[in-house]
Chains A and B, each alone.
Chain A
């Protein structure tokens, strides 16, 4: 059975029921609209509106879900020994996200968050963390498109107080 998903720019995606179920948000909406796997009429007559996701991003999300639809549900380790959250990004996922620039990763992450697709969300957050690795503060600011609202004096004070240098 197939489910129709409609993006913010009015693009309709027809996906397998199993794929639609990978999103907790979509699952909930289907339940609310009394759509069930065994009731074809309910699936045909309804479509799920997703006003927070654009066509381009939705295509990427579906591509990821297609690949992972047969995955066993896995338990994420909350924290490693040293209090850090760790998530292993599989080779396929690395390749999948490799060419996305930061802004697009953020869009995709926003969609994964809104759709509640945990695996994709974890993949992207780990990928972004890997991008931050080894970067200096101004490089991080540029990456996130953040304007630094700390004055030079404040920065100097923080550096002095915490006595580390950036290089």
Chain B
């Protein structure tokens, strides 16, 4: 039902009976009597508000606006950054449920901070659950710098960077990993045709990773379509021209990541059997109760791994490498599975894992 016009609404209000006791109410303060709250008190009040409730503060008055920006500390559900050929965009989803979204737009050659005087303040000490960056254009050093200055003091749980064949984001990644404020729990890198990447720089950057819950590398066929399985390159039916040319990680980077991250998935890795055995031992020796590493490699590396394993004391080998699946164990809790992709892939997947096996420890069992 549409709302009644004001005049009619007031007429429909019930008239109080004369005998009714008048409501006990203090005389209303006139506007002049409302005390002007000092800045520090207003800051305290605004800190109680959700990011959605703080949106209107931007246009109440200049003073309120600057106080709101000064507080920072917004909580933002997700931030999407698109660095496109024509336009750069930062979308902050303040509240996904109510679709409350704040966006900042700029052109590729102009830094965000030059377009928006308040953008740094908007993201000051903000906490963000997901930060997704889509880098679609060539030469992203400037954009990486621009974003670095925007997100100076962001607190992020999960960072995902999608890179096209034209973009190089090792600079930004380096900043993410070395920034004191931005300490993500998870990092995912998705590449489309990664041959354009400067792998040496990227590997150096990855070797700076200190502690992460999860680190993930994906090879994508298309940039947009992160939720669809079919857009991933693996399992691949045909090998690359030179089989390991698109391997983002090398063996020592892989071992470093296995040591420093709880769950690692790296796609194609340019490593030796010795590296894989080393990664396996790192996981065996880790005090964590669950830890895993997933990589893809080529057959000759798998063969080398099994030759080495056969000559290493304390390892048990199951099956044969050319039959598909082979397990071997060092401790009771760590396993390495090797599998040639059953879906017709030409690369081999190596999965090293240690799972929480408290239930398996029966009482009385010697350790």
Q: Which residues from chain A sit less than 8 Å from chain B, CB to CB?
A: 79, 82-87, 99, 101-104, 106-107, 109-110, 113, 125-126, 128-130, 132-137, 140-141, 144-150, 155, 158-159, 161-164, 166
Contacts and interface: CB of A to CB of B under 8 A. Distances in A.
A84 B48 contact: yes
**Most chain A C-beta atoms within 10 Å of own C-beta, residue among B26, B34, B47, B104:** B34
Contact of B75 (A82, A130, A166): A82
Contacts of A126: 48
Q: Which 6 A-B pairs have the closest CB atoms?
A: A129-B48, A82-B75, A103-B29, A103-B34, A137-B56, A145-B34
B238 to A, nearest CB: 45
A150 B35 contact: no
B37 A144 contact: yes
A109 B37 contact: yes
Interface string B95-120: 00000111110000000000010000
A146 B74 contact: no
Contact of A148 (B36, B60, B125): B60
Given A87-B48, A136-B56, A107 B102 contact: no
Interface residue tally of chain B, by bracket? 35 or more
Given A83-B127, A109-B41, A132 B33 contact: no
B102 A162 contact: yes
B58 A135 contact: no
A67 B29 CA distance: 26
B48 A150 contact: no
B26 A104 contact: yes
Interface string B42-78: 0011111110010111111111110000000111000
A140 B37 CA distance: 13
A146 B61 contact: yes
A164 B56 CA distance: 9
Given A99-B26, A103-B29, A158-B58, 11 more contacts: A83-B73, A83-B125, A83-B155, A84-B75, A125-B41, A125-B48, A126-B48, A129-B46, A129-B49, A140-B56, A144-B64
Contacts of A87: 48
B39 to A, nearest CB: 12
13 contacts: A85-B47, A86-B48, A87-B48, A103-B29, A107-B35, A109-B37, A132-B45, A133-B49, A137-B56, A137-B59, A137-B60, A144-B60, A155-B59
Contact of A83 (B35, B53, B56, B75): B75
A128 B25 CA distance: 19
Contacts of A102: 34
Nearest to A135: B56
Nearest to B28: A101
Contacts of A110: 35, 37, 41
Nearest to A108: B35
Contact of A158 (B29, B59, B63, B125): B59
A150 B101 contact: no
Nearest to B115: A161
A103 B35 contact: yes
B37 A150 contact: no
B358 interface: no
A135 to B, nearest CB: 7
B28 A164 contact: no
A114 to B, nearest CB: 11
Contacts of A155: 59
Contacts of B125: 83
Contacts of A109: 37, 41
Contacts of A135: 53, 56
B65 A150 contact: yes
